[in-house]
Amino acid sequence: MIMIYDCEKGAVKRTLMSKKYGVDLIHYTHAANTAIHTSNKVDDTIRYLSLHDNKYLRYFQGHTKRVVTLCMSPADDTFLSGSLDHTIRLWDLKSQQCAGLMHLMGRPVANFDPEGLIFAVGINSESIKLYDLKSFDKGPFNTFKVPSQPNVDWTGLKFSPDGQYIMITTNGNVIYIIDAFQGTQKHMLTTGPPTAGVPQRSFEASFSPDSQFIFSGSADGSIYVWDAIQGNQITILRGEHQDPVHCVQFNPKYMMLASACTRMSMWLPNVEENYG
C-alpha cells in the first residue's frame, strides 16, 4: 500500500494498493506524479509507477536479492539501487537496461551528492568510495577509511544538503558524520541505548535543509536532534510515536519534518503540536 499525504492539511490525500508486489523503499522522481519503488513480494524488481492512474511505466530487473538502497539523482532521471546480492546498479528511467554494475563484498549503501555529479558507496561497513558519475567505470577517485564499531553494519548513506558532510546510519544505535572532502570522522552520534525486545535495524536520520541540524529516529519512539557542526545533542522530540521510529525525512519546501513508526507524524518549526 502507498499512502500519499497532503502536507498542508496533514491528512491522507490518496491511497494506492499494491497487493501483488508490495512496497518497500519508495522515492518520487522529478515528476510530481511518478515514483520508483522496491517490492517485498514476488521478486526484487524495481518498479516505475504512475501515481496518477496506479499503472507501471517500466520495470528494472537485475537484482537477485532484496534491494536495500534506492536513491534518485537530484539532477536528472538517473538512480542507484543496491541489493543484498552485493551489487550496486546504475539506471536511467528512460531505459530498462542497467547503465552500470558494481560488485561489492558486502551489503551496499550509496547515494548521490547534492549536485548529482558524484556518488558515494559504502564498502563492507568500513570505507567510503567516491565516484564521478560520468566516469565511474574508471574506479573511485577517492577512498576514505572510516573507524566504526565492531559488529555494526552500515545501513544508509546521505550527503548533507550543502555537500560538506556524509552521514552513515547503522543497524546499531550509532550514526557517523564524515567530512565529505577529507574523509575524517567529525562526530559519532548515539540514539540512546538499545531497547529490550527491539531487534537491531536502522533508524533513519536526516539533515535539516540548511545542513545545520540532524534528526534521527530511535527505538524508544523519540526523535533525537543534534547540532551538525558541533555534534552536541540539542533536544529530544517526543510526539505520539508508541513504536520505534524508523523513518525521518524533511520536506524542504515547507520546512516540515515527517516521522513514522506504525503511524506518521508531521512536525513544523516552533510548533509544539504535531499532526498524528
Residue extents of the structural domains in the chain: 74-267
Distance between CA atoms of residues 152 and 129, nearest Å: 19
- Considering the four listed CATH numbers 1.20.140.10, 2.130.10.10, 3.90.1150.10, 1.10.10.60, the one that applies to the domain covering 74-267 is 2.130.10.10
Q: What is the per-residue pLDDT across 215-274, written as a single tens digit (0 to 9) for each? A: 999 988 999 999 999 999 999 998 888 888 989 999 877 789 999 988 889 998 875 544
pLDDT category of residue 194 using cuts at 50, 70 and 90: low
Give the pLDDT confidence score for residue 193 in this predicted structure: 64
Calpha distance 24→19 (Å, rounded): 12
Band the pLDDT of 169: cuts 50, 70, 90: very high
pLDDT of residue 273: 47
Locate 220 and state its grid cell.
524508544
Average pLDDT of the residues in 51-73: 94
- Angle (CA) 102-137-111 rounded to 5° is 55
Mean pLDDT of 142-161: 91
Count Cα atoms within 13 angstroms, Cβ side, for 136: 21
Is residue 102 a contact partner of residue 116, using CB atoms and an 8 Å limit?
no
Among residues 30, 9, 32, 25, which one has the least CA distance to residue 60?
25
Instruction: Provide the pLDDT confidence category of residue 201 given band limits of 50, 70 and 90.
Output: low
Q: What is the mean pLDDT of residues 44-62?
A: 94
Beta pairing partners, 128: 122, 144
- Contact status, residue 106 vs residue 123, Cβ threshold 8 Å: yes
Is the pLDDT reported for residue 13 higher than 70?
yes
Q: For residue 276, name the pLDDT band (cuts at 50, 70, 90).
A: very low
pLDDT of residue 200: 47
Q: Kindly report the average pLDDT of the chain as a whole number.
A: 89
Please give the average per-residue pLDDT across 79-96, as a whole number. Answer: 96
C-alpha cell at 222: 523519540
Q: How many residues does the chain have?
A: 276
For the record, the C-alpha cell of 62 comes out as: 537485475
Q: For residue 167, which phi and psi values (nearest 5 degrees)? A: -105, 135
What phi, psi does 159 have (nearest 5°)? -90, 150
Selection from 250, 236, 244, 237 nearest residue 262 by Cα: 244
pTM confidence score: 0.89
pLDDT at 124 over 90: no
- Quick check: helix, strand or coil at residue 32? coil
- Residue 148's pLDDT is 80
Those residues with Cβ within 8 angstroms of residue 253's Cβ, 6 or more apart along the chain or in another chain: none
